[in-house]
Amino acid sequence: MKKEYRVKESDEFQKIMRGRRFHNSKSYSLYIEERKEDHARFGISVPKKLGNAVLRNKTKRQVRSMLQHLAPYDGKYDVIIIVRKGYFSKSYDDNEKDLEKLMKTVKM
């Protein structure tokens, strides 16, 4: 995923999350906000209590890889994806299907 399609700043994360528009599944929480740029942007967060830095970075790389296949970058929203505890009890394919289903509910 190119850097222009990422939400990176802490202030932007907080602003999107303060909007209180979200959808949940066992593996993810998605916070959404109408986009400000001329393309959709995605931010990924893995809380510290889910594992050490190596595991969190691996998880972010996996989710980024899933987004390359699933995400419409011409979508309507800026999205924050927060990985939840249920992510680690499923396989990569199941997590990808779960993310795809969650994004369809948002109708990106």
Residue 19 included in any domain = yes
Sheet order of strands, 77-83 included: 22-24, 28-34, 77-83, 41-45
The total number of structural domains in the chain stands at: 1
Q: 7-26, pLDDT tens digit by residue?
A: 878 888 888 888 888 888 89
Within 10 angstroms of residue 58's Cβ, the number of other Cβ atoms is 12
Alpha helices in the chain (DSSP H): 10-18, 53-70, 92-106
- Report whether pLDDT(108) > 60: no
Residue 26 included in any domain = yes
Q: Which amino acid would we find at residue 51?
A: G
CATH number, domain with residue 68: 3.30.230.10
As a whole-number percent, the residues of the chain with pLDDT over 90 amount to 38
pTM here? 0.85
* Residue 89 banded pLDDT, cuts 50, 70, 90: very high
Which residues are CB-neighbours of 31 under 8 A, at least 6 positions away? 16, 17, 19, 21, 22, 79, 80, 82
Domain housing 92 = 3-103
* Residue 37 banded pLDDT, cuts 50, 70, 90: low
Residue 39 included in any domain = yes
Q: Which residues does residue 23 pair with via DSSP β-bridges, in sequence order?
A: 30
Pairing of strands 28-34, 22-24: antiparallel
Which residues are CB-neighbours of 85 under 8 A, at least 6 positions away? 50
Residue 108 included in any domain = no
pLDDT at 86: 92
